[in-house]
Amino acid sequence: MPEFTPISVFDIGQWSRTATGANTLTNFTYWPPISLNTTTGIDITTQGWTRTSPIETFASTSSTMWGLWNAGVQDPVAFAADQYFGDDAQPQPGRERRLAVRARAEELLQCLLTPEQWQAYQANQAFEVVGSLGRRYRIKHGVSGNIGIIEHGVEVARLCAHPQTYDRNADAHLPTEDVLIGQLLHLTSDEASFLRVANVHHGRIPDLAA
């Protein structure tokens, strides 16, 4: 069980940095990322990163998240390759275990989705669901701000709500596929309570048709 730091604020917007050497890494969403007012995390602005999206923040008490953040700021290419690029990543300690975890989570996700949803996810890294109240949502592969409300085929709002991704019991993070499972099940079973906790990043939540 890790020691938890006092609440600190993370910035979950997009940042970019051109790395030195042969590897260039730009414009990827970094999670869990930025320290704005902490004594625990490394200040990203001193490491050559620049912001590429509006500021978005959330609070966390997890020292593990800060550990990940510091690792990523100090060695972004290795960190991002390990966290985000899967099979294309360079060999990293623990990578095999993470791939196995993701494969396991993906297997459960496939089991829960309809064949059509799974096909869409395979093709576009996104699938659509109808909430228990009837609104249509597009869930994209991701953890934060990855849910769009779809009206007449157009995204009219972007939401952020997800299962708590840090498992204190296992001292581990949920794989992204588990996050999608949690979002899928919550939206389709209790859309109202999902919307109560979700933050609207942009747009509006449409009224239900009478």
**Cβ nearer to other proteins, comparing 67 with 182:** 182
Tell me which residue has tokens 């917007």: 13
- Report phi then psi at 91, rounded to 5: -60, 135
**Cβ nearer to other proteins, comparing 34 with 174:** 174
For 177, the token pair is 């596929």
What minimum distance in Å lies between the beta carbon of 170 and other proteins?
Answer: 4
What minimum distance in Å lies between the beta carbon of 105 and other proteins?
Answer: 4
Q: List binders of other proteins among 149-208 (CB under 8 A).
A: 160-165, 167, 169-175, 177-178, 181-186, 188-190, 193-194, 197-199
**Cβ nearer to other proteins, comparing 90 with 199:** 199
Cα angle 41, 54, 83 (rounded to 5 degrees) comes to 50
- Could you tell me the sign of the dihedral formed by the alpha carbons of 45, 48, 51, 57, in that order? negative
Number of residues that bind other proteins (CB under 8 A): 51
d(CA 35, CA 13): 11
Q: List binders of other proteins among 101-160 (CB under 8 A).
A: 101-105, 107-108, 111-115, 117, 129-130, 143-145, 160
For 16, the token pair is 């970019």
Residues in the chain: 210
Tell me which residue has tokens 């390990």: 82
Q: Which residues bind other proteins (CB under 8 A)?
A: 12, 58, 100-105, 107-108, 111-115, 117, 129-130, 143-145, 160-165, 167, 169-175, 177-178, 181-186, 188-190, 193-194, 197-199
